[in-house]
Amino acid sequence: MNLSDSVVPPAPDWSLTCLGEPVCWPPGLRTAIDILLNCPTPMLLMWGREQVMLYNDAYAAFNGMPNLQAPGGNVPSVLPPAWSWSAAVIDHAWHGHSASYRAQPLTVWRDGAPTQLPCDLYYTPVRDADGTVAGILCTLTPAATVPASAPPHAPLRILVVEDNTDARYLACETLRALGHEVRAVASGEAALPALEQGPVDILFTDVSLPGMSGVELAGQALARHPALQLLFVSGYGDALTRHLPWPVSTLQKPYELAQLQHALTTIGRRLHDEAK
């Protein structure tokens, strides 16, 4: 083979990610990323207990979500399906065990809608120089033909309130892919006038916002729009929202797609029942 025939892809700009420059990486991370980026098979690396997410172009294409751009490099606000389908499997890998799992149904995106796809999954611990498991490398391959997707449900009108730009974009893209109508603002102060600009079914807000908190926003919003449904997102579980005087649904970051779908389905049924 002539070396001049080889294709060398451009190096990613790692300075834009939370990992910093490669010169500062531990050897295990450097080796795992070299394997990941040079592999034509979908691969996903979770690094550190913070679960920094890295992936190759093959994984981005396999997952099907339009906002995924390799190589990643940030902690996801929504766990990828290869990480969320079984906490016991991930814990097994964190304890240093390689394992494979056949024909596990994962939610991927096809034609703008979530679809269950059976996948073969291979988990490999990645170790630091001292032998500590510092990350998990996952390889995915489709195991069977894609089944027919479920029919879409009635769209909900959702206002997303999130100050983090990346989290706001991901939430909006996910909700739109699920078939809902979405608008977004970056603060509670901006949300109140946005609620007056058109009908909203669900206020989808982070609890910990700068300035007006999500809880303060919800109180003022309900005073003006009593039929508004509340869906909180929090890094602290439901500790801050458990004893509120109004019905709320809460998702803890990072949440799973199935949890989001369940919350939206529950709210949609509640709205349907109240409209009878």
Q: What is the pLDDT of residues 155-173, one digit of tens each?
A: 899 999 999 888 888 888 8
Among 142, 166, 186, residue at a domain's last position:
142
Condensed to tens digits (0 to 9), the pLDDT of residues 10-20 reads 677 777 677 88
Residue 38 is encoded by which pair of tokens? Answer: 């040079």
* Residues 98-113: b if buried by 16+ CB within 10 A, e if exposed: eeeeeebebbbbeeee
Condensed to tens digits (0 to 9), the pLDDT of residues 56-100 reads 999 988 888 777 788 888 887 778 889 888 888 888 899 998 888
Residue 162 sits in the same domain as residue 228: yes
Tell me if 149 is assigned to some domain: no
Q: Which of 40, 31, 59, 62 minimizes the C-alpha distance to 135?
A: 31
Q: What is the mean pLDDT of residues 132-160?
A: 75
Residue 136 sits in the same domain as residue 50: yes
Distance CA 68, CA 66 (A): 6
Residue 165 sits in the same domain as residue 80: no
pLDDT of residue 106: 86
We report the CATH number of the domain holding residue 119 as 3.30.450.20
pLDDT of residue 1: 46
Distance CA 79, CA 256 (A): 5
Q: Which of 57, 41, 240 minimizes the C-alpha distance to 142?
A: 41
Condensed to tens digits (0 to 9), the pLDDT of residues 199-235 reads 999 999 998 899 999 889 999 999 999 989 999 988 7
pLDDT of residue 153: 55
Phi, psi of 37 (to 5 degrees): -70, -25
We report the CATH number of the domain holding residue 215 as 3.40.50.2300
Tell me if 263 is assigned to some domain: yes
Residue 138 sits in the same domain as residue 168: no
Report yes or no: 127 and 133 within 8 Å, Cβ to Cβ: yes
> How many structural domains does the chain have?
2
pLDDT band, very low/low/confident/very high, at 147 (cuts 50, 70, 90): very low
pLDDT of residue 142: 85
For the chain, give the longest Cα–Cα distance.
72
**pLDDT of 7 above 70:** no
Peptide bond into 71 cis (omega under 30): yes
Q: How far apart are the first and last CA of the chain?
A: 71
> 91 lies in which domain range?
14-142
Tell me if 6 is assigned to some domain: no
Among 91, 118, 142, residue at a domain's last position:
142
pLDDT band, very low/low/confident/very high, at 237 (cuts 50, 70, 90): low
Mean pLDDT estimate for the chain: 83
* Residues 199-208: b if buried by 16+ CB within 10 A, e if exposed: ebbbbbbbbe
Any long-range contacts for 232-236 (C-beta under 8 Å, 24+ apart)? 232/205, 232/206, 232/207, 233/77, 233/162, 233/171, 233/204, 233/205, 233/206, 233/207, 234/206, 234/207, 234/208, 235/208, 236/207, 236/208
